[in-house]
Amino acid sequence: MPICMIHGSLLTKDYMGEPAEVAGWGVYDIDDPKPSTVLQTITLRVVSNAECKPRFELYADVGPTQMCVGGVVGQDSCGGDSGGPLMKIEAFDGPPRYFLLGVVSFGSKRCGATTMPGVYTRIADYLHWILANMHE
Q: Where are the domains of the chain?
A: 4-133
Q: Which amino acid is at 62?
A: V
pLDDT value, residue 3:
42
| pLDDT tens for each residue of 78-94 | 999 999 999 999 888 88
pTM (two decimals): 0.88
CATH class for the region spanning 4-133: mainly beta
Contacts with 69 (C-beta within 8 Å, 6 or more apart), sequence order = 20, 22, 44, 45, 46, 47, 86, 102, 117, 118, 119, 120
pLDDT by residue (tens digit) across 2-13? 445 555 555 678
Mean pLDDT of the region 110-114? 91
Q: Give residue-wise pLDDT tens across range 11-70.
A: 678 899 999 999 999 998 888 889 999 999 999 999 999 999 999 999 899 999 999 999
Bridge partners for 21 per DSSP = 43, 87
- HEC profile of 79-120: CCCCCCEEEEEECCCCCCEEEEEEEEEECCCCCCCCCCCEEE
pLDDT for the residue numbered 7: 54
| Rounded distance between C-alpha atoms, residue 14 and residue 11, angstroms | 9
- pLDDT at position 12, please? 72
Q: Find the Cα–Cα–Cα–Cα dihedral 29, 119, 106, 30, rounded to 10°.
A: -10
Contact partners, residue 82, CB within 8 Å, separation at least 6: 26, 104, 105, 106
